[in-house]
Amino acid sequence: MTVDHKAAAHRMYEAFNARDYTATEEIFSQDFYSHPLEATGPSSVVQAWKRFHQAFPDVRVVVEDMIVDDDRVAVRTSVHGIPGGHPPMMLEMFTIRDGRIAELWGLSSLWREA
């Protein structure tokens, strides 16, 4: 189960970096909820990713650490391709259900220097 949960998280970052918006239908549950976006469903992820990619065409996320506990995955990432000094960091926590990301919480240092 731990491997499957890690795989689900890795799939999300791989899809983001590849701009593979159609993969969101397989990565996120239909009732997925993002607390930072206050939005539901894979289509909300596509919209957010597209806005982010338009703002930062060279952006890519690198997984630095990942911890799995039961149905939760915590991931620390660095965000490259953003103008400025050090790559911003993100900390995201997912709930995995049936191999898909069902819920997300997140914190970011992205706008701290802005």
More confident residue, 38 or 113: 38
Dihedral of CA 55/58/63/68: which sign? positive
Give residue 114's pLDDT band: very low, low, confident or very high (50, 70, 90).
Answer: very low
pLDDT at 3: 61
Question: Of 77, 80, 104, whose CA–CA distance to 91 is shortest?
Answer: 77
Domains of the chain plus CATH, in order, are: 5-108 (3.10.450.50)
Alpha carbon of 84 to those of 54, 58, 60, 78, 110: distances in Å? 17, 13, 15, 13, 10
49-81: pLDDT as tens digits: 999 999 999 999 999 999 999 999 999 999 999
